[in-house]
């Protein structure tokens, strides 16, 4: 299935940075705009992945913000 999404992007100090307007929690970067687009496609595919196996594990992850 093909889904069309809009990305917002800008040039950072070293990399192109972007996120999906429809899913602002999906954000990544790339050395080129083409790499950024590929990374956003990959991130979207991973975030919308539905086939988690039954024998999965859950672990708490601490993140400094």
What are 35-52's pLDDT values in tens digits?
999 999 999 998 888 777
Across residues 16-39, what is the average pLDDT? 97
Please give the pLDDT value at position 51: 78
| pTM score | 0.75
Residue 52: predicted pLDDT: 77
Cα dihedral sign for 10, 34, 42, 13?
Answer: negative
64 contacts: CB under 8 Å, gap ≥ 6: none
CA 37 to mean position of chain CA atoms: 10
């Amino acid at each position: 299935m093909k889904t069309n999404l809009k990305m917002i992007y800008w040039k950072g100090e070293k990399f192109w940075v972007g996120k999906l307007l429809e899913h602002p929690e999906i954000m990544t970067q790339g050395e080129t705009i083409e790499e950024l687009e590929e990374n956003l496609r990959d991130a979207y595919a991973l975030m919308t992945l539905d086939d988690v196996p039954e024998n999965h594990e859950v672990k708490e992850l601490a993140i400094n913000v």
